[in-house]
A = this chain, B = another copy of it.
Amino acid sequence: MSLLIVGTVATDDIVTPFASVEGVLGGSAVYAATAGSLYCPVQIVGVIGEDFPESYLAYLQEREFDLEGLEVQAGKTFHWAGKYHFDMNTRDTLATELNVLASFDPTLPAGYGSTPYVFLANVDPVVQLRALDQMKKPRMTVLDTMNYWIETQREDLTAVVRRTDLVMINDEELRQYTQEHSLLRAARAMLALGPRALIVKKGEHGAALVTQEGYYYAPGYPLEDVVDPTGAGDSFAGGFLGYIAQQGHVSARELHRALIHGSVVASFTVEAFSIDRLKDVTAADIRARYREFAAFTHFESLD
């Protein structure tokens, strides 16, 4: 089944302790869609400016994304610049030029409203709400967000949370939003708002999936070198929800397997800047790394 992704399409400047790039293809929708398309058809709802590079548009077209919901507006494309610290787990935002994103008001093409799986990637909660308002009853709606929206638009964000099936958020942002130091207590506070499940992202340490009944864990994949963590969370989400859309149902079993698929896909993303590695991932790559996860995660039960 299809996956609808609402998010940003951007050009990024990225600085790490080891290398830098300028104007590379980025944005939450681009990472999530590239990951999701490894599993199912993907529709992108977003906006680009007239300056959006031809080669990047060509990639989106060749990847066979449904781009009917990708608006082109007068002005410049959303631009983000960030610098990573030595540990590659924390970063400073150097620039956030909203440009055409500032006035973005999504209008979903006819037919998008019945897409069964929806990922509201990191973008203004008001934009996420506007998109949700145009959806009929999706089977599963997943929300991602960040500290900026928690600090500046908490009420709008909470309104989206209440209409979401699964929330993805990193551990510090979850503590910030709920004011609970215990991640488990914080998770339960978030679930009390309505979502059926929560995924707590822990950067290189992995991710935990918490529901009212259960708890599941996916460690991070041990990489010799992380080239660029940008897009890890978005591609994790794309892999997670793409796998579920491919399966077409959502059992606890599938949720845990989807969690591993998300970790697998994200581990490829960070091996290169932009989507340079992610776009070339094959089904065989995924199967091989999924098996590696099983090998270092599983242990023998008690005699």
Contacts and interface: CB of A to CB of B under 8 A. Distances in A.
A27 B194 CA distance: 44
Contacts of A214: 296
Contacts of A86: 181
A206 B183 contact: no
A257 interface: yes
A291 interface: yes
Contacts of A210: 222
A298 B298 contact: yes
Contacts of A205: 202, 205-206
A218 B302 CA distance: 15
A17 B181 contact: yes
Contacts of A218: 299
Contacts of A183: 204, 222
Contact of A259 (B184, B224, B294, B299): B299
A250 to B, nearest CB: 15
Interface in A180-198: 181-185
Nearest to A208: B222
A184 B182 CA distance: 28
A291 B296 contact: no
A185 B217 CA distance: 24
B290 A294 contact: no
A93 interface: no
Nearest to A253: B300
A185 B294 contact: no
B296 A216 contact: yes
A95 interface: no
Interface string A240-275: 000000000000010011011000000000000000
Which of A206, A253, A297 has the most chain B CB atoms closer than 10 A to its own CB? Answer: A297
A175 interface: yes
A184 B224 contact: yes
A184 B17 contact: no
Contacts of A81: none
A226 interface: yes
Interface string A30-72: 0000000000000000000000000000000000000000000
Contact of A226 (B17, B182, B216, B291): B182
